[in-house]
Chains A and B, each alone.
Chain A
Amino acid sequence: MGCDGGSWTKGVTRFEVIRGGVEVRGFSTAEMETLRAASVDSLKGTFHLHVDSESMPAMVGIHQTMADGLRFEPRFPLRPGVDYVAILSLEGLDQATSGRRAQQFSFVIPMETKEPSTVVLAISPSVPKLPENLLRFYLHFSAPMASGNAYQYIQLLDGSGAPVDDAFLRLEEELWDADAKRLTLLFDPGRIKSGLVPQRELGAAITTGRDFELTIDPSWPDAEGTPLVKGYRHRFTTSPPDHQSSDPNQWRLTLPRAGTRELLLVDLDEPLDAALLERLVTVRNAQGTLEGVPDVTRDGTRWEFEPDQAWQAGLHQLSIDVRLEDLAGNRIDRLFERENLPGAASSNPNQPAAFVQLAFALEPMR
């Protein structure tokens, strides 16, 4: 980011925006001596920087006395497009400076105009038919996005193009990943859970058998403040609510050949949460967990794994963490919501996560 904003000279005084700070020169020898002897508080009162006008708080930063002037370096970088005013008031510092009147220098760091380059890469789940009790979408972007106002750029429309209000949980803490490139959009769980007021009064946000469209507004700024290249539309229809967990014993494995780095293909019994699939399913052999790259394809119904090293012959296990959820938040080991039966088994989050293991053997190469 360029932080130099030019200079301004009046009489002997010269203001300059340079190296991210503001410098002022043109002092007499006596004035410089006074400035060098001045206390921190005096310098704060002598030379200060504000956003917009002097009525705003003085910006925090560091004052430096140079050989021929003063420098103020803001604690946080100057921001392009913001109106700044630097004020020099030597009056009253001491006799050497008392003849000076206060002087101001206004400046703006020029904005760099940037062509839009960020796009919505995908919205998942991508399967065209989604359960009425769908719990979340993931929005994937090609570059870091601005956070803080996400919900104003997201709209759910029904088949007639009318907005579906209050569909999503509007969280003050937007659920971005650390790079701000993926946003998790949760449906309001109060409209999904049986018996709660929102569910009784508003019902499900997306109802079975109807068409919907999730739209992303192109004016959504990325982290640089530049809008998206274009908007995005994600169409889907809705199927009846899913109140069943996935059963890994129904998954179908297509095995690679030992000695190759062919993909291990796992066709699932229902589409599962793609983010959790990538993280919670691993492959082990006798030596431990295999390094490699997992991928989720076929609209979340297939898990693929490409090992870094060629497959070895022998026994392997597909290891599935039971925290894996389907699209409605049903985990392998328990449903999103379940009948509250006395004496039901309690889960223990402090114990090592439980796993379901699917064993398979790779034949030696012939």
Chain B
Amino acid sequence: MTRTRLKPASLTITLSLVLALLTLPAFAADVDLGSGATTGALDLQSIGPITFGSNGVLFVADSTRAAVYAIDTGDAKRTDAADVSIDDINAKVAGLLGTTADDIVINDVAVNPLSNNLYLSITRGQGESADFAIVTASASGKLALLDLDSIRYAKADLHDAPTEDQQDRRGRALRREALTDLEFHQGTLLVTGLSNEEFSSKLRKFSFPFKGVAGGTNVEIFHGAHGRWETNAPVRTMTVYDIDGEPNVLAAYTCTPLVKFPMSDLANGKKVNGHTVAELGNRNRPLDMFVYKQGSTDYVLMANSSRGVMKIDLNRIDEVDQITDRVADKAGLPYETIAELVGVDQLARYGEDRAVVLSRTDNGSSLRTIALP
């Protein structure tokens, strides 16, 4: 896939760059992105999930290139969270990029925890002429394009041997892994993906700042059903949660189980069995989730393609037994469905007591903050 590039016009007498950029702090020291950090044009071949690390570092997944980029947004000024409400977000983002809402997809929304600016992962157009962009939204609703033509970034390849997967023996690029989620926790970046060929669950773990361009730990995740069956399952979305001081991954599969496993299990060569803590019921396709505290209780808030937003009580997570019996629609940890949150496609934590939701409405789409339920 080639990206269309603008060529400088020969008539130019003065050339003024008026791309809307984020204001960069004047004297910011370079953030450590690890070995291989470079400044230049970030030529994405696709864009999927995005998530923030610390110091304004944004991780960007490129499934076609089978890589994750860490980019220094320079957006590291602490700003208070405020209510955000942008109606018709798809049309407005499309307008900024010179097209209409039907021609763009908002793949993901990430919140910069320092500036509380929102970052949107955007695909514009189709096929070979598609473009990939990151659009920012401030609390006041101002949209801007993040300039990827000149930016500091580092790359982590998902395959040790990229050539193995890039082309088959007829030169076709058939095998591709759709990257489904990124999660950053204290210097560790977790990446999940779903292959368009073999059915397995790969979870990769990278240390950040990136050390070397390739590698990362590659782990297959299994889950049990009723203590009897054990299968592979692709993880769709995940979050990290401390249980008794030990970081655990909470992972939701494309089929129904929600599982946990200690992050320390993600070591080379180890087989990881997710411990099922809830089975979330029929037609459940988890989209996004995060953990928050309310009073003395921890909850997971999870967006779900058909059930709206679910609030799952984590209070008994260290006690809940592996689900072994035949159960009704729900099992394990109790949850409730937040009735007023419907059509939610993207969900992210925003500040201490809010979430940001991208939702489909009758007359378009909206990006807004809500109080945590």
Contacts and interface: CB of A to CB of B under 8 A. Distances in A.
Contacts of B92: 56-57
Interface in A327-366: 329, 331, 336-340, 344, 346-351
Interface in B1-29: 1, 4, 6, 9, 11-20
B230 A337 contact: yes
Interface string B165-194: 000111011111011100000000000001
Contacts of B20: 60
Nearest to B226: A195
A39 B229 CA distance: 67
Residue among A59, A223, A340 with the most chain B CB within 10 A?
A340
A62 B229 contact: no
Given A64-B11, A197-B329, A59 B255 contact: no
Given A79-B98, A179-B173, A196 B4 contact: no
Given A186-B199, A196-B279, A222-B127, 10 more contacts: A57-B95, A79-B99, A147-B126, A177-B196, A196-B256, A224-B127, A278-B169, A294-B169, A340-B229, A349-B200
Nearest to B165: A279
Interface string A61-89: 11111110001011111110010100000
A263 interface: no
A325 B97 contact: no
A73 B4 CA distance: 13
Contact of B19 (A61, A135, A201): A61
B15 A51 contact: no
A148 interface: yes
Interface residues of A, number: 99
Nearest to B285: A170
10 A-B pairs closest in CB distance: A223-B127, A190-B255, A56-B95, A173-B178, A178-B173, A175-B196, A346-B271, A340-B230, A184-B196, A337-B231
Nearest to A305: B169
B305 A172 contact: yes
Given A147-B126, A293-B170, A74 B98 contact: yes
A316 B99 CA distance: 57
B265 to A, nearest CB: 12
B91 interface: yes
Residue among A67, A76, A340 with the most chain B CB within 10 A?
A76
A336 B231 CA distance: 6
A202 interface: yes
B197 interface: yes
23 contacts: A21-B9, A61-B18, A64-B12, A64-B16, A76-B124, A76-B125, A78-B98, A79-B103, A136-B199, A144-B126, A171-B178, A174-B178, A177-B173, A182-B174, A189-B199, A190-B284, A193-B231, A276-B197, A278-B168, A323-B198, A329-B199, A337-B230, A349-B218
Given A59-B96, A173-B48, A293-B169, A348 B269 contact: yes
B18 A339 contact: no
Interface in A111-129: none
Residue among B103, B126, B228 with the most chain A CB within 10 A?
B126
A347 B220 contact: yes
Contacts of A184: 196-197
Contacts of B73: none
Contact of A64 (B14, B232, B271): B14
A144 B271 contact: no
Given A59-B97, A171-B194, A194 B173 contact: no
Nearest to A58: B96
Interface in B253-294: 254-257, 268-269, 271, 279, 281-285, 287
B16 A62 contact: yes
A51 B91 CA distance: 9
A349 B129 contact: no
Interface residues of B, number: 92
Contacts of B125: 76, 79
Given A59-B96, A337-B231, A340-B228, A275 B127 contact: no
A75 B229 contact: no
Interface string A47-61: 001111000111111
Interface string A211-245: 00000000000111100000000000000000000
Contacts of B227: 340
Dominant secondary structure at the B interface = loop
B114 interface: no
B228 A275 contact: no
A304 interface: no
A268 interface: no
A40 interface: yes
Contacts of A75: 6, 19, 97-98, 145
Nearest to A223: B127
A43 B257 contact: no
A180 B64 CA distance: 11
Contacts of B230: 337-340, 344
A84 B98 CA distance: 8
Given A64-B11, A178-B1, A182-B174, A146 B126 contact: yes
Contacts of A148: 105, 126
A188 interface: yes
Interface in B142-176: 143-145, 168-170, 172-176
A93 interface: no
A339 B230 CA distance: 6
A331 B195 CA distance: 15
B279 A197 contact: yes
A43 B228 CA distance: 68
A77 B4 contact: yes
A176 interface: yes
A62 B169 contact: no
B254 A56 contact: no
B202 interface: yes
B116 interface: no
Nearest to B65: A178
B251 interface: no
Contact of B98 (A65, A76, A336, A339): A76
B94 interface: yes
Interface in B225-244: 225-233
A58 B176 CA distance: 36
B98 A49 contact: yes
A351 B220 CA distance: 12
